[in-house]
Amino acid sequence: MGLILGSGGKGGRRGRRALNAEINVTPFVDVMLVLLIVFMITAPLLVRGEDVALPKTRSGPIKTEPNDAPLAITVQADGTIFVQNTEVSIDELGAKLAAIIGEGYEQQMYLRADASVPYGRIMDVTAEVRAAGYTRLAFVTEQKK
C-alpha cells in the first residue's frame, strides 16, 4: 500500500477550488424564526389580566410615561377586586394599597371596572384607594367607534 501526497502546487486538488469566504445565514435565520414563534406564543401568556367588559366612552387615550409601570385595580362583574393579579376583599384593599406605597404615591394608578358593576361598588373601591393615599386615579374605558 502506498500513500500519494499532493505537492500542494497548482496541479493539486486544492488549487482548483477556491475557498468560500461567504457566511451561511440559513441556520441563523432558522433559529431566529423559531425564537420569534416561541416569543409570539409565550408573550400573551405572560401579560395575563382579569377579563372585564369595559364601558365604552368618547374619552381619549390615557397619557402614560414610557418607563411607567402603573398599579392597576380591576373590578369584575361579580364584584371581585384584584390589585394587579391578586384577589383582595374590599376590607383588605386599603391595607394592601398602603403596604404597597408606604407614604405618598404620585404615579398614575388605573381602575378597570366591568360595565355591569354597580356604581356603589366603584365608589367603595375609589374611597379605599383615596384613603390609602393615592392621589392620581384614572378610570380605564374603551373608546366608542
- Per-residue pLDDT tens over the stretch 73-129: 888 888 888 888 888 888 888 888 888 776 556 677 888 888 888 888 888 888 888
Helix (H, G, I), strand (E, B) or coil at 119: helix
Is 39 domain-assigned?
no
Give the H or E element holding residue 95: helix 90-101
Chain CA centroid to CA 33, Å:
21
Answer with the residue of higher pLDDT: 76 or 55: 76
Domain extent, residue 130, equals 72-140
- Does this model's pTM top 0.85? My answer is no
Q: For residue 79, is it within any domain?
A: yes
CATH number for the domain that contains residue 101: 3.30.420.270
76 in a structural domain? yes
C-alpha cell belonging to residue 26: 440559513
* Domain total in the chain: 1
CA dihedral 52, 121, 133, 138 (to 10 degrees): 40
Q: Is residue 61 part of a domain?
A: no
